[in-house]
Amino acid sequence: MVHRDIATSTAVVIVAGEMDALNCGHVESILRSLLAEDILHILVDAGGVRFCDINAMRMLSRVHRDLRNLGGEIVITAPEAVHKLAELMWPGSSPDRPAVFRSQDRCEPEAAPVPPPPRRHVPSMRNLRQSSRARREYIPVTSPRDNRQILERAARLKFELEAARERMLAQARTTCASLAEVHERLAALHATLGERPDRTGAFALLCDDHSHHETADRMRDRITAFGGRTR
């Protein structure tokens, strides 16, 4: 199931069952179609996935890498087994690694069983018509309550995607600010050491402080860029 919001460039894709080499191509085609619709932020709800192999994780990594090039990302909520598989494939931080969060077990309420109709002693032809009518009446269909639960779950997953995105942007802004401060300190250190010749009469450093000032400015520009993506 896919729930998209064109206004915010976000989408929620719900995957259940198995996701392996046999069917991950179908999931990838759905994700690629969202990219074609200018969807940049995708939450893959894999809470109902019973099995996921390396091929499926590599597929998600490819799509995540393409989204990052466009300024977006993939966020995955998955069971413990899928979360551990992601940690084994990407033990450290990597730009190709999508954010994977453990999903919470959610028990959907089940409909109460419908009791069978009481048996009646009627002529055989009438009983045949009654059985045919009963079979038509008890065909399971999706009730409005089920549709409402699906929409509520999609809205909840969209909220979780936005919260995860805000956390990632805040972390990126903090990292860029720290890097800018480090390069400013390096620039001051280089400026001081550059004025002190060593014992041979040559200057201690072959570089100056300009490159560090430029890097610090770029880090500040990134802070502004990440701040502009906050909705």
pTM exceeds cut of 0.85: no
Span 173-182, pLDDT tens digits:
888 788 888 8
**Residue 125: DSSP 8-state:** H
Check: CB of residue 85 under 8 Å from CB of residue 57.
yes
Coil, helix or strand for 209? coil
Q: Is 71 left (phi over 0), alpha (psi -120 to 50) or beta?
A: left
Q: Measured between alpha carbons, how far is residue 35 from residues 6, 64, 74, 189 in Å?
A: 11, 11, 11, 46
Cα–Cα distance between 190 and 215 in angstroms, integer?
A: 14
Cα–Cα distance between 212 and 47 in angstroms, integer?
A: 45
Residue with more model confidence, 90 or 72: 72
pLDDT band at 31 (very low <50, low <70, confident <90, very high): very high
Q: Which residue has the tokens 């069983």?
A: 113
Span 128-154, pLDDT tens digits:
454 544 444 444 555 566 677 777 888
Q: Closest Cα partner for 15 from 143, 145, 103?
A: 103
CATH class for the region spanning 2-107: alpha beta
Cα–Cα distance between 194 and 208 in angstroms, integer?
A: 7
Please report, for the chain, the start and end positions of each structural domain, with discontinuous segments joined by +. 2-107, 171-228
- The number of angstroms, rounded, from the C-alpha of 50 to the middle of its chain's C-alpha atoms is 18
Percent of the chain with pLDDT over 90: 3
pLDDT band at 97 (very low <50, low <70, confident <90, very high): confident
| pLDDT reported for residue 144 | 62
Bridge-based pairing of strands 99-102 and 10-19 is: unpaired
